[in-house]
Amino acid sequence: EVQLVESGGGLVQPGGSLKLSCAASGFTLSDFDIHWVRQASGKGLEWVGRIGSEGKSHATEYAASVKGRFAISKDDSQNTAYLQMYSLKTEDTAVYYCARAITTLDYWGQGTLVTVSS
Amino acid sequence: QSVLTQPPSVSAAPGQKVTISCSGSSSNIGSNYVSWYQQLPQTAPKLLIYEESRRPSGIPDRFSGSKSGTSATLGITGLQTGDEADYYCGTWDSSLRAEVFGGGTKVTVL
């Protein structure tokens, strides 16, 4: 069974850092892209970024709103992807989901809540 | 302001049909596959339709998708109370180099 489980969310002060994990099971992580998508309370889905499969040399792309502050990485041997977040702002407060993809985001994790507040 | 435009809400009685539109441009819907996601209250999004009209295993054929030019449409027939959810369209935008979503449409069963 395909599963994605996010962890690492929590409360962080503005300007702080946080690293989220996305543990994959039931499939080979190296064969898929992994996307991160966030959703502020009561709002719609906002794409954060993606990291390519091994075949795409793990290339990364980011939304303009997080470029230069967030970094996505992947450890295929551990079947885990990561979202490292720096210089966090209050507007980064959201539930963060990871999802696997080839032509579509076909499986999503349950999400982890990140709250940026003083 | 979302790159893809969806109506904020649609509603219909049980057993009826609803359609949800998703409007984009040549750099997103016009040149890439469209997906639709269902988000039930307090849950993660779930893939409903991919590559415009294909359904993943386990998705009933009451759900259908289509695309014409720079617009896509999700149809739900035989509406059930369990279909009350937010629905999002999504696709890749080749100019922005980003995955883009519509603002979401809330489906209410009257």
A55 confidence band (pLDDT: 50, 70, 90):
confident
Query: Measured between beta carbons, which residues in chain A are less than 8 angstroms from residue B95?
Result: none
Q: Report CB contact under 8 Å: A45, B45.
A: yes
CA distance A115 to chain B (A): 17
How many degrees, rounded to 5, is the angle at CA A81 between CA A76 and CA A86? 140
| pLDDT of amino acid A54 | 82
Q: Report CB contact under 8 Å: A44, B102.
A: yes
Determine phi and psi for A69, rounding to 5 degrees: -115, -30
pLDDT score of A53 more than 90? no
Query: Measured between beta carbons, which residues in chain A are less than 8 angstroms from residue B47?
Result: 104-108
Mean pLDDT of chain B: 97
| pLDDT of amino acid A57 | 83
Mutate to test the interface with B, among A3, A22, A47 (most CBs of B within 10 A): A47
Considering only alpha carbons, which residue of chain B is nearest residue A62?
Answer: B98
CB of B91 closer than 8 Å to CB of B71 = no
Residue B11 in tokens: 């509603």
Q: DSSP label at A52?
A: -
Considering only alpha carbons, which residue of chain A is nearest residue B3?
Answer: A46
Q: Within 10 Å of residue B21's Cβ, how many Cβ atoms?
A: 16
Q: Report CB contact under 8 Å: A61, B56.
A: no
Residue B52 in tokens: 């415009």
Residue B45 in tokens: 């999004």
- Across the range A68-92, mean pLDDT stands at 96
Q: Report CB contact under 8 Å: A44, B88.
A: yes
Q: What is the pLDDT of residues B17-56, one digit of tens each?
A: 999 999 999 999 999 999 999 999 999 999 999 999 999 9
List CB contacts of B100: < 8 A, sequence separation 6 or more.
Answer: A47, B2, B3, B4, B24, B28, B90, B91, B92, B93
SS3 of residue A54 by DSSP: helix
Mean pLDDT of chain A: 96
Q: Report CB contact under 8 Å: B90, A44.
A: no
DSSP strand pairing (A112-116 vs A10-12): parallel
Mutate to test the interface with A, among B31, B93, B99 (most CBs of A within 10 A): B99
- Is the four-CA dihedral A105, A24, A61, A40 of positive or negative sign? positive
- Across the range B96-106, mean pLDDT stands at 97
Between A47, A61, A109, which is nearest B100 by CB? A47
Residue of A58 and B30 predicted with greater confidence = B30
Segment holding B98, helix H or strand E = strand B98-101
